[in-house]
Amino acid sequence: MANKVTVLGSLNVDTTLRVPRMPLPGETLSTENKSSAAGGKGANQAVAAARAGAETRFIGKVGNDDAGRFMVESLQEDKIDTSAIVTDKTVGTGSAFILLDEEGQNSILVYGGSNQQIKDAEVLAVEDDIAKADFLIAQFETPQAATLAAFTVAKQHGVTTILNPAPAAKIDPAILKVTDLVVPNETESAVLTGIEVTDRASMDANADKFRAMGAKNLIITVGSKGAYYATEKESGFVPAFKVKAVDTTAAGDTFIGALSSQLKSDLSNIESALTFAQRASSLTVQGLGAMPSIPTYDEIIAASKK
């Protein structure tokens, strides 16, 4: 049986500008290439979950514009249920501008647009979509009030909640109390706990702090090094696969989506699910663009056998 994953999140049209290096303040640089693709942390995570085999639904908002229609069609191409995506008549679809240098590093500017207009009532109106899920995923590119409403409903129906607190922001403490698994990177974890992530002891300290704040289970992604995990029963570190990164955009989103496609609701297989997610993420960074580089289940399994 495939995992049922519902994503509450952002839908952005990504415009990527290839640059030789990041510009200095006041400096003008020529871009080497420009491309546009479907993106947004929510959309990327949903596509990653769907391509990795999960039965996926999406809760979100787009503008009444070509970009919004493009985003909905992009999700539907991956057989994602888009019936809970609302069209905002007054605010345009979200967008992101990505500067990508020759080393594969990026800097990203995001315009929230309709993503920021998701209301609690709209989330509560799709309670059935949440109740049917094994996992509900949310990030910080949509309002925290909507996430709190969705996670509260999820817990009433026994759905496992996964919070990706990205981009890093001050968090409503009530959200962590209804979060089963929080998945920040090392920077985001430090922002939320006040404890810098430098070694295993500091990761354990982050896990203790999150537990005290209400989130019982933690995964910290540490870029090319790997991922730390701490559940109520165990903790450990799963190293990343060594590859040459071309574009790190959507690596973290691929990780979370792929993880949700394999994870058991009780997190009992967290180590093997993490290894699968790391493999998926390692494939994403070897391709250009966010959504186009997210791998399928077959591609992830094939890479595992090499």
* Binding positions for ATP: 185, 221-226, 252-253
Token output for 182: 């929080």
DSSP 185: B
Q: Which residues are annotated as a binding site for K(+)?
A: 247, 249, 284, 287, 289, 293
Tokens for 224, please give them.
Answer: 């090319």
CA–centroid distance for 79 within its chain: 18
Active site residue 253: yes
Name the one residue in this structure whose structure tokens are 């094939």: 302
Report the C-alpha gap between 90 and 96 in whole angstroms. Answer: 19
Catalytic position from the list 88, 129, 134, 253: 253
Quote the CA–CA distance of 47 and 77 in Å, as a whole number.
9
Cβ–Cβ under 8 Å, residues 175 and 202? no
Kindly give the interhelix angle for 41-51 and 251-262, rounded to the nearest 10 degrees.
40
Q: Residues annotated in the binding site for substrate, as ranges?
A: 12-14, 40-44, 141, 253
Q: Which pair of tokens denotes residue 159?
A: 């759905």
Catalytic positions, written as ranges: 253
